[in-house]
Amino acid sequence: MRDFFRSTSFKILLVAMVVLLAFVIAAATLAGGTSPLTSAVGTVFSPLQNACSYIANKFDAFRGGFISSGAYMERVAELEAQVADYQRKLVDYEKLQKQVESYEKFLGVKEKNPDFQFVAGTVIGRDSADVFGSFVLNCGSKDGVAVGDPVISGEYLIGLVSEVSPTTCAVLSVSDPQVSAAAYEIRSGETGYTQTTSRLGASGLLKLSGLSRSTAVAPGGIVCTSGVGGVFPRGLIIGSVTTVEKEEGDISYYAEIQPEIEISEVQDAFVITNFEGKGDA
């Protein structure tokens, strides 16, 4: 038996069986439509192919939701333009609202004083170096404004026109030392005249001078223009009394007055171009 396995016949038989087995495997593979090399490569690289397909699908989904930087910049520019437009509208609304309030006050003054002639103006400039708060309005001589015309906000006196051009006018505030008005305190009826000092004017205050030593003027009293002198019409409110003091080196007294209007906050005003009694000494 051992000699048979070592014989040439057995070796030829073994080779024939191996060749036959190879043909069987090849036939089975060809019947499946793939070559042995293809099957081997497919088996090895199939997991990698599946991973690549997964990543590709995810990238396609991401790319579908991606917006270019240029598109973002265009959108940002559109939104900025909308915000700027809304801001302009808001500013216009605020201006209109303040003008409406100013005109409502004007109508009240006009009803009480039908003889008043007005010119409306908007503050377009302020002198930052002027501690007394002078300002410029956008109305001038072509509108009938003249030097010496009173300027009011509602029923309150806020200043006096000092310079005029065809389209603008400069206004000294009521607390400026150059402005003086004949006035009275409405509760006591006592009269005097307003003036100020650098110290008081810089604080926005002025004083009602010429009061007697027996004055009945007291803190809280309202001071108005009396109309004497023909510069200011009667009845414009100047401010309220904060204290009453004795003049230095004199027997008379004066009342310190706090104006009712904060000049630095005024945006719209009216110039009284004419009134009954204007210019009468």
Residue 63 confidence (pLDDT) above 80: no
Three-class SS of residue 165?
coil
Cβ count near 216 (within 10 Å): 13
Domain membership of residue 252 (yes or no) is: yes
Tokens of 150: 């009173």
Tokens of 154: 């509602």
Share of the chain above pLDDT 70, in %: 69
Alpha-carbon gap, residue 109 to 27, rounded angstroms:
115
Q: pTM for this structure?
A: 0.63
According to DSSP, residue 247 is labeled P
Domain membership of residue 74 (yes or no) is: no
* 209/31: higher pLDDT: 209
Domain membership of residue 80 (yes or no) is: no
Domain membership of residue 75 (yes or no) is: no
Q: Taking the mean position of all CA atoms in its chain, how far away is CA 178? A: 35
Domain span at residue 222? Answer: 94-274
User: Is the Cβ–Cβ distance between 224 and 186 less than 8 Å?
Assistant: yes
Residue 223 confidence (pLDDT) above 80: yes
Which of 35-44, 61-70, 112-121 shows the highest mean pLDDT?
Answer: 112-121
pLDDT on residue 88: 74
User: Is the Cβ–Cβ distance between 124 and 168 less than 8 Å?
Assistant: yes
pLDDT on residue 41: 44
Residue 182 confidence (pLDDT) above 80: yes
Q: Quick one: 47 and 109 in the same domain?
A: no
Transcribe 24-70 into DSSP letters. Answer: HHHHHHHHTT--HHHHHHHHHHHHHHHHHHHHHHHHHHHHHT---HH
Q: Quick one: 103 and 237 in the same domain?
A: yes
pLDDT on residue 68: 63
pLDDT on residue 65: 52
Alpha helices in 65-168 (DSSP H): 69-112
Q: Quick one: 40 and 124 in the same domain?
A: no
User: Is the Cβ–Cβ distance between 120 and 275 less than 8 Å?
Assistant: no
Per-residue confidence at 279, pLDDT binned at 50, 70, 90? confident
How many domains does the structure of the chain reveal? Answer: 2
Q: What is the pLDDT of residues 89-127, one digit of tens each?
A: 776 666 666 666 666 666 677 788 888 898 999 999 998
pLDDT on residue 76: 79
Per-residue confidence at 197, pLDDT binned at 50, 70, 90? confident
Residues 7-25 have a mean pLDDT of 61
Q: Quick one: 41 and 164 in the same domain?
A: no
pLDDT on residue 77: 79
